[in-house]
Structure 1
Amino acid sequence: MTSPDTSGDREKVVSKLPSWLRQELKIRAVQHGVDMQDAVEAGIEAWRGLGSNLSPIDTSGAESFATFLPAELWSGFRADCKLRGVSLIQGLAQSVQMWLDINPAPAVKRPEIVRRIVVCNQKGGVGKTAITAGTGEALAEAPTALVPVRVSKHFAALLNEDETTRQDPLALEDLPGLGQRVLLVDFDPQGHLTRQLGQEPLPMDGDSLTNHMAGDGKGDLRDLIVPIDEDRFGDRLHLLPACTDAFLLDVRLASVRAREASLERALSPIETHYDVILVDCPPSLGLSMDAATYYGRRRPQESPGNSGALIVVQAEDSSADAYGLLTSQIEDMRTDLGLDVDYLGLVVNHYDARRGYIATSSLQSWMDIKDPRVVGVIGDLKEQKEAVRAKRPLLAYSPRCDQSVALRALAREISK
C-alpha cells in the first residue's frame, strides 16, 4: 500500500516487519546517525542488486511497518520480489537485514586514559551520592538499546519551568546507551552509595580501600569489588563498597609518605578494567579530599577535561559558601603541587522552580559563573527517594523519569 508524501519526492509505503528486526533497525540507524527511511532505501537497493536469493528470515508475528521511499522504488521492489518468488514481507525483511549486515554496530569508544571523575562538595546533603550513582549508571547503559535523553540546550528553560515544560516529550531524544565500563568508588565512610545500591559496607576486620591507601592492604583490591546486577548495565557497572574504617583515613594518611598519591596508588592496579572511575567523596576538606583531588588531576598525555572534579551544588546560598571553600582547596593543591586539575562542571541538584525566587535566582547565579559551567540540572522528584528506599539504581528503577533523563544528559555533557 502506498500514499504520496507531500513533503518531497517520496511516497509512504506500508508493509510488515518482525518487531525484533524493526527495533534493531531503529537502534542501528540512530547509532549511524541516519534516518530509518534512508536505511530501508539503502537496504532495498542493495537487495535488488543481488544475483541470488538470501536465506529466508523468520517473519512470523510480523507487524505493520510504514516508511517513506523514493517514487518508483517500491513498485520496482515489488516486481523484483515477484520475480524471485518471495513475499513482499520476506523481501523487506531481507533488505533490512542486509543493511544491518553492511552497517554493523559501531564499537564503543574507549578513552585512551581511564577517566577519573571526583564528585565532590564540602557541604553535606547536596546529593553527591545520587549524582555519582546516576552518572555512572548513565555511562554504563547498554549501547544496543535506545534511552530517552534531555539535552543540555534545555537548561535555560528550567528557569521558567512548569509541569508542562518539564514533561514535554518533544524535549527528549532517543539515543543509544554509552556502554562504558564503570567503577563507582564509595569514598565516604557513611556508606550511602553502598547501601543505596543494595550492598553492605565492608567489615571493619577485613580488607578495605582505606587499608590499601595506608599501605596495609590484605589482598587484591579487585576481590572487594561487586557488580551491580541489573540487566540494563550488563556487567559494566561495578562498586567498590565503603568501610567505616574510612573515618580514620585522615589520621592514617598523616604518616603515609606522599599521602596525596595514596588513592592513585590503591586504584591504579585496577584501572585497566574500566573506562570511567567515579569517586563519591565525603563532605570533608581533609587529607582524603587532597588524595581525591590528586587522583582526578590531569595526567601526562591526558586531554583536558578527560578527568577532573564534578562539583555538586544546590540552588540556595549555603552551597555557594561551600563551593568557595572547596575551590580554594583545589586551587591550593594546584599551586602547591603544580597540578593541572580540570573542573568538569557544576551540577545543580534538587532543583525545584516552584520554590520561587531563591531557587530560580540561585540557579541563574550558578549559570552565570561560566567556568566551571553548569553541566546538569537535576530536579527534586520522588523517584530518586523511591529508588533509595528500594535499594536499586535509579536508572533501573525508573528509567524514563525526569531525573534519569537529566542524568543521561549530564553523562553526555561531561563526555564531550
Structure 2
Amino acid sequence: MTSPDTGGDREKVVTKLTSTLRQDLKVRAALHGLDMQNAVEAGIVAWRGLGSNPAAVDTASAETYATFLPTGVWDGFRDDCKDRGVSLTQGIAQAVTLWLDNNPVPEVQRPATVRRFIVCNQKGGVGKTAITAGLGEALAENPAALVPVRVSKYFAALLEEEDRPEDLLALEDLPGLGQRVLLVDFDPQGHLTKQLGHETLPMGGDSLTNHMAGEAKGELTDLIVAVDETRFGDRLHILPACTDAFLLDVRLASVRAREAALERALRPVENDYDVILIDCPPSLGLSMDAASYYGRRRDNEETGNSGVLIIVQAEDSSADAYGLLTSQIEDMRGDLALDIDYLGLVVNHYDARRGYIATSSLQSWMDIKDPRVVGVIGDLKEQKEAVRAKRPLLAYAPRCEQSVALRALAREISK
C-alpha cells in the first residue's frame, strides 16, 4: 500500500517486516550514517538488479512496517516480486537482508597513539571516580548497538531550566563507541575498584606501586581484570588499586626520573587498549606529577588526543582546589618543557534546584573558556544506586540522565 508523501518526491509505503530485521536495519543504517528509508531503497535497488532470487527469509513473525520511497520505486518492486513469484513481504525481507549483507558493521576507528585521560582534582568528594568509571563505560559500549545520547553541544541551557530550546533537550540513538578501555585505580582508597565489584589487590603481593617503584613481582597484565557486563563485551578492564599506594610518594622519592614512573609501568599494556583512564587520588604529591607526565602530548601525537580532565563542582571550594591543581600542572609544563593538554572541565553533581550558588558557579566555570566545560553531570540517585549494587552505571541504568550525559562527554572529548 502507498500514499503520497508531503515531502513531494517520496511516497509512504506500508509493508511487513520482522522485528529482528527492523532492529538490525535501524542499527546498521545508523552505523553507516543513513536514514532507514535510504537503506531500504538501496536494498530494493540491489535486489532488483539480481539475476535470480536469493535464499528465502523467515517472515513468519513479520509485522506492519512503514517507510518512504521515491515515487515509482515501490510499483517497480511490486511488479518484480510478481514476476519472480515471491510475496511483497518475502521480497522486502530479501531486499533488507541483501542490504545488511552488503553493508557490514564498520570497523571501529582506533587512535594512532593510545589516548591517556588523567581524571583529577586535589579536592576529594567531587566525583572523580564516578566520572572515570562512567566515561570508560561510555567509551566501551557495543559499537553494533544503539545507545541514547544527548546531542546538545551547549551547557548554558542548564542555567535556563524553563526556557531551553527543544533541540537542546533531544536524545539521539547513536552507535556505541566500541573502544578498548583500561581503567587505572590510582587512588589507594580503591573506590573505583570497589564500585565496579572487584577487590583491591592484597598487600604484600604485586601492584602498580611496585611496578612504578621498579620492584615488580610479575607482569602488570596479570593484575588487570575485566568488568564483566555484556554491553561492554571484553572491552572494559580495570587495574585494581592496592593500599600500598599510600606509600607511593615516599617510594617514588628515591626513583630515578620519577615523573616517568607511571609511564614506565603502563607501557607494556598500552598496545592492548585504545584509551587508558587514570583515576587520580586527591593529592598534589609526586603521584600527581607522574600522572600529569603520563598525560603529556607525545611526539607526533595530535593535540587533545590525551591530557588532563578536571572534575569540579558548582560551588566555591572547587574553585580554590582548581587553582592549586592547575598551578602544579603549569609548573610541570614549564619545568620539564612538556605539552600537557587540558581536555576540559566536568561540572559534576550539578543541581540547579540549589539556587544561585549552583547556577552562578556553573556560569563561572563556563566563563573560563580555556579549559572549557565539556560536560555537566547531574546529581541524581542512579549513580548512588549503582555504587550500592557494585555495578557500572551504564549497565545498571543505561537510559538515565547521568548515563546519557556521560555518553555526551565521551563524544565531546573524543572529537
Distance 1:344 1:152 in 2: 18
Paired position in structure 1 for 2:47: 47
Q: After alignment, is 34-43 or 148-157 more displaced?
A: 148-157
Distance 1:62 1:112 in 2: 44
Any residues of structure 2 matched to 1:263-342 within 5 Å, and which? 263-342=262-341
Q: Give the TM-score of the pair, scaled to structure 2.
A: 0.98
Paired position in structure 1 for 2:100: 100
Q: % of aligned pairs identical?
A: 81
User: What is the total number of aligned residue pairs between the two structures?
Assistant: 415
Q: After alignment, is 117-126 or 73-82 more displaced?
A: 73-82
Paired position in structure 2 for 1:153: 153
Paired position in structure 2 for 1:361: 360
CA contact (8 A) 1:187 1:282 kept: yes
Cα pair distance change 1:314/1:169, threshold 3 Å? closer
Structure 1 gap segments, 5+ residues each: none
Q: Deviations over 1:39-85 (max 9, x none)?
A: 10111011111111101112221122110111121111111111101
Q: Deviations over 1:183-240 (max 9, x none)?
A: 0000000000000000010000110000000001100111110100000000000000
Structure 2 gap segments, 5+ residues each: none
Q: After alignment, is 269-278 or 72-81 more displaced?
A: 72-81
Let me know the Cα RMSD of the aligned residues. Answer: 1.4
Distance 1:170 1:49 in 2: 43
Alpha-carbon offset, residue 154 of structure 1? 4.1
Paired position in structure 1 for 2:171: 172
Distance 2:169 2:102 in 1: 32
CA contact (8 A) 1:152 1:413 kept: no
Distance 2:34 2:274 in 1: 27
Distance 1:90 1:275 in 2: 42
Q: Deviations over 1:281-308 (max 9, x none)?
A: 0000000000000000000010000000
Paired position in structure 2 for 1:255: 254
Say yes or no: does 1:203 pair with 2:202: yes
Question: What amino acid is the match of 1:37?
Answer: Q
Say yes or no: does 1:12 pair with 2:12: yes
Q: Deviations over 1:3-23 (max 9, x none)?
A: 221122211111111211111
CA contact (8 A) 1:43 1:99 kept: yes
Alpha-carbon offset, residue 153 of structure 1? 2.2
Any residues of structure 2 matched to 1:361-380 within 5 Å, and which? 361-380=360-379
Question: What amino acid is the match of 2:222?
Answer: D
Any residues of structure 2 matched to 1:119-130 within 5 Å, and which? 119-130=119-130
Question: What amino acid is the match of 1:20?
Answer: T
CA contact (8 A) 1:154 1:171 kept: no
Q: After alignment, is 169-178 or 263-272 more displaced?
A: 169-178
CA contact (8 A) 2:386 2:393 kept: yes
Alpha-carbon offset, residue 165 of structure 1? 6.3
Cα pair distance change 1:305/1:395, threshold 3 Å? same
Distance 1:56 1:189 in 2: 59
CA contact (8 A) 2:152 2:168 kept: no
Q: Give the TM-score of the pair, scaled to structure 1.
A: 0.98
Question: What amino acid is the match of 2:39?
Answer: A
Alpha-carbon offset, residue 167 of structure 1? 11
Paired position in structure 1 for 2:389: 390
SS across alignment from 1:37: helix
CA contact (8 A) 1:160 1:353 kept: no
Distance 1:347 1:304 in 2: 19
Any residues of structure 2 matched to 1:182-261 within 5 Å, and which? 182-261=181-260
CA contact (8 A) 1:134 1:393 kept: yes
Question: What amino acid is the match of 2:155?
Answer: F
Q: After alignment, is 91-100 or 214-223 more displaced?
A: 91-100
SS across alignment from 2:117: strand
Q: Deviations over 1:251-308 (max 9, x none)?
A: 0000000000000000000000000000000000000000000000000010000000
Paired position in structure 2 for 1:343: 342
Paired position in structure 1 for 2:72: 72
CA contact (8 A) 1:225 1:241 kept: yes
Alpha-carbon offset, residue 415 of structure 1? 0.2
Question: What amino acid is the match of 1:140?
Answer: A
Alpha-carbon offset, residue 161 of structure 1? 2.1
Paired position in structure 2 for 1:29: 29
Distance 2:271 2:353 in 1: 45
Paired position in structure 2 for 1:412: 411
Question: What amino acid is the match of 1:250?
Answer: D
Question: What amino acid is the match of 1:21?
Answer: L
